[in-house]
């Protein structure tokens, strides 16, 4: 597709369940980002991938969160043993790798996660 | 750590008029990048305009322009001839180039822009 694609668009699950969120970046974009958008915290940067490598995972909120990227394309963000405070919109973005910092990030529509 | 402050939670403007959204930031870096993103109810963050700190000239994109005051660490967005489609949340964002991308964008809390017909 032409843009960043995220699935599912909405996810409702019970507290304690595991969830997996998917992001398919723009073709040719090797840099990929995950953000969390919640009412209380605004937009938080979670993790960045350059290719399949994530150099810094310290932005992940807890050890229940993990992310991976394979084949330099699709990325998944997994949340284990979900808690109500995990409810938020999870946004994915991608950008060209060259001169990463000055390249604009293109965002997907996000996944709205609701924990009951 | 860098911080971005948007002091206007909500702004309202009449259609066809001009509105300015404020943004200030705090950084010890001399070179960095600043962005304005728009987020309509569809949730997708759309890049409106960007500014490199080393450039003195203010960026413009059609009806959108910025007033970048580096010494004051201010980066306001001016929208001219406001249109109904401009209604959205607007986020100011900062990026430090030295992280090589690993530090992501730092966002302000956003300004909800309402366009009155």
Rounded Cα–Cα distance for residues B107 and A107 (Å): 14
- Label residues A96-114 b or e (16+ Cβ within 10 Å = b): beeebbbbbbbbbbbbbbe
Contacts of B35 in chain A (CB under 8 A): 104
Whether pLDDT at B100 is above 60: no
Number of structural domains found in chain B:
1
| Cβ-contact B97, B31 below 8 angstroms | yes
Q: What is the pLDDT, as a whole number, of residue A106?
A: 92
**Structural domain for B104, as ranges:** 3-116
Task: Determine, for residues B109 and A100 on separate chains, whether the beta-carbon distance falls below 8 Å.
Answer: no
Confidence of residue A55 (pLDDT cuts 50, 70, 90): confident
Instruction: Give the distance from residue A18's alpha carbon to the nearest chain B alpha carbon, in angstroms.
Output: 24
Rounded Cα–Cα distance for residues B102 and A96 (Å): 13
Q: What pairs with residue B69 in β-bridges?
A: B74
pLDDT in tens, B34-75: 999 999 988 889 999 999 998 889 999 999 999 999 999 999
Superfamily of domain A5-95: Immunoglobulins (2.60.40.10)
The average pLDDT across B16-42 equals 93
Task: Determine, for residues B105 and A105 on separate chains, whether the beta-carbon distance falls below 8 Å.
Answer: yes
Ranges of each domain in chain A = 5-95
Contacts of A110 in chain B (CB under 8 A): 43-44
Whether pLDDT at A100 is above 80: no
The backbone torsions φ and ψ at residue A44, rounded to the nearest 5 degrees and listed phi first, read -115, 135
Three-class SS state of B18: coil
Task: Determine, for residues B104 and A89 on separate chains, whether the beta-carbon distance falls below 8 Å.
Answer: no
């Amino acid at each position: 597709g032409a843009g960043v694609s995220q699935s599912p668009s909405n996810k409702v699950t019970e507290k304690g369940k595991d969830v997996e969120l998917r992001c398919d970046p723009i073709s040719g974009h090797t840099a990929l980002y995950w953000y969390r958008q919640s009412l209380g915290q605004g937009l938080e940067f979670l993790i960045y991938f350059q290719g399949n490598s994530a150099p810094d995972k310290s932005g992940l909120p807890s050890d229940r969160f993990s992310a991976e990227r394979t084949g330099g394309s699709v990325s998944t963000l997994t949340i284990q043993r979900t808690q109500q405070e995990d409810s938020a919109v999870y946004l994915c973005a991608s950008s060209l790798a060259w001169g990463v910092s000055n390249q604009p990030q293109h965002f997907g529509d996000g996944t709205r996660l609701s924990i009951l | 750590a860098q911080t971005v402050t948007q002091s206007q939670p909500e702004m309202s403007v009449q259609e066809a008029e001009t509105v300015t959204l404020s943004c200030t930031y705090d950084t010890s870096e001399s070179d960095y990048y600043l962005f304005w993103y728009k987020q309509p109810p569809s949730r997708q963050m759309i890049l409106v305009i960007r500014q490199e700190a080393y450039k003195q000239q203010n960026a413009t994109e059609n009806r959108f322009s910025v007033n970048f005051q580096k010494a004051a660490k201010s980066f306001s967005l001016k929208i001219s001839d406001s249109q109904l489609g401009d209604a959205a949340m607007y986020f100011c964002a900062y990026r430090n180039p030295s992280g090589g991308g690993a530090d992501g964008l730092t966002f302000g809390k956003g300004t909800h822009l309402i366009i009155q017909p």
